[in-house]
Amino acid sequence: MTNLSIAIPDSCLIESQTILDKSYKISQISRSCSIFCVNKIIIYHDSSVKAENMDKKILKTILEYLDTPPYLRKKIYPKMWILKHAGILPPIKSPHHKALIDIKKIRNQEIRFGFVVKQNDSLYVDVGLEKLIKYKGNQLGKKVLVKITNNAQLLAEDISKENVDGYWGYDVQFADSLSALLENTESEVLMTSVEGSQFTRHVNDFMSKIKASKNLLVVFGGPKFGLRKILECESKKISSSNNFMNMFPMQGTQTVRFEEAILGTLSIINNYLHA
């Protein structure tokens, strides 16, 4: 399994004027990442345009909200204006968005996302069932991934996504700049741009590199400027090791929109990753 991450600029909502428009756009990003089992979304600072500072917070909050299993959303997120329209966005329905089941039917070693609460000086985790489960850990007030063991009593302990099979949603992080992100990543990088070389001409070489690295970071430019310009504003250039590629050869429209580029690019990549 390839560990797939994407990087998007903090300017990506710049063309959306209202919180409703922004919510819909973020929902499309979230769905694309969930469909194609993206593990990490990195929001990098784009200094080529002046985007609203609040957009970063809106992006991260709604992306994380949509990735959160519905049974935990009300517990983790207080009423906040950013989430005003989050309720009407299309659901993700990833495997970690589990249903309510009878607590007696819980399997030994079952994995669930939960939220850690304190009761009578003990920590418990709410995993969306009728009862809280005793929690052996120290992340009070946090969203946690737990393994539930059933030895006479149910007990939940922290487990890391890397140690569990299957797809468990994405994490969201910030990066200070595109060049810092590129310097610090250990992944093979795919930079998408209409100015890039045609992907299909390089796909065999590229896929061999991915098979060796097992980590792929796909980087997208912004609605206003592409990756070359964003790097130029950081006094950097595209490096030949960065796989600067055009995923939409012979496009019949002047531009491919940001959210279209994400879904389209990940569709193509997914197809090769599972070939």
From the list 31-39, 55-63, 171-179, 233-241, the region that binds its own copies by CB under 8 A is 31-39
Q: Does residue 48 contact residue 259 with C-beta atoms inside 8 Å?
A: no
Pick the closer one to its own copies by CB: 92 or 218.
92
Q: Does residue 73 contact residue 96 with C-beta atoms inside 8 Å?
A: no
C-beta atoms surrounding 273 within 10 Å: 17
How far is Cα 41 from Cα 224, in angstroms, rounded to an integer?
20
Restricting to residues 151-190, name those near its own copies by CB under 8 A: 167
- Least distance in Å: CB of 122 to its own copies? 35
250: left (phi over 0), alpha (psi -120 to 50) or beta: left
Q: Does residue 40 contact residue 1 with C-beta atoms inside 8 Å?
A: no
Q: Is 263 in the site for its own copies (CB under 8 A)?
A: yes
Pick the closer one to its own copies by CB: 193 or 265.
265
CB-side neighbour CA atoms (13 Å) of 192: 29
From the list 57-65, 88-96, 172-180, 224-232, the region that binds its own copies by CB under 8 A is 88-96
Q: Is 260 in the site for its own copies (CB under 8 A)?
A: yes
- Least distance in Å: CB of 65 to its own copies? 16
Pick the closer one to its own copies by CB: 16 or 139.
16
- Least distance in Å: CB of 90 to its own copies? 7
Restricting to residues 90-129, name those near its own copies by CB under 8 A: 90, 92-95
Q: Residue 117 corresponds to which tokens in the numbers above?
A: 């609460």
Pick the closer one to its own copies by CB: 113 or 124.
113
Task: Detail the DSSP E strand segments found in the chain.
Answer: 3-9, 40-44, 110-119, 122-126, 133-136, 143-151, 153-158, 171-175, 188-198, 215-219, 244-246
Q: Is 198 in the site for its own copies (CB under 8 A)?
A: yes
Pick the closer one to its own copies by CB: 90 or 131.
90
- Least distance in Å: CB of 102 to its own copies? 22
Q: Is 240 in the site for its own copies (CB under 8 A)?
A: no
Residue 184 burial (C-beta neighbours within 10 Å; 0-12, 13-18, 19+): exposed
Q: What is the DSSP letter of 140?
A: T
Task: Provide the CA 167 distance to its chain's centre, in angstroms.
Answer: 12
Restricting to residues 35-54, name those near its own copies by CB under 8 A: 35-37
Contacts with its own copies, residue ranges (CB under 8 A): 31-32, 34-37, 90, 92-95, 167, 198-201, 247-257, 260, 263-268, 270-272, 274-275
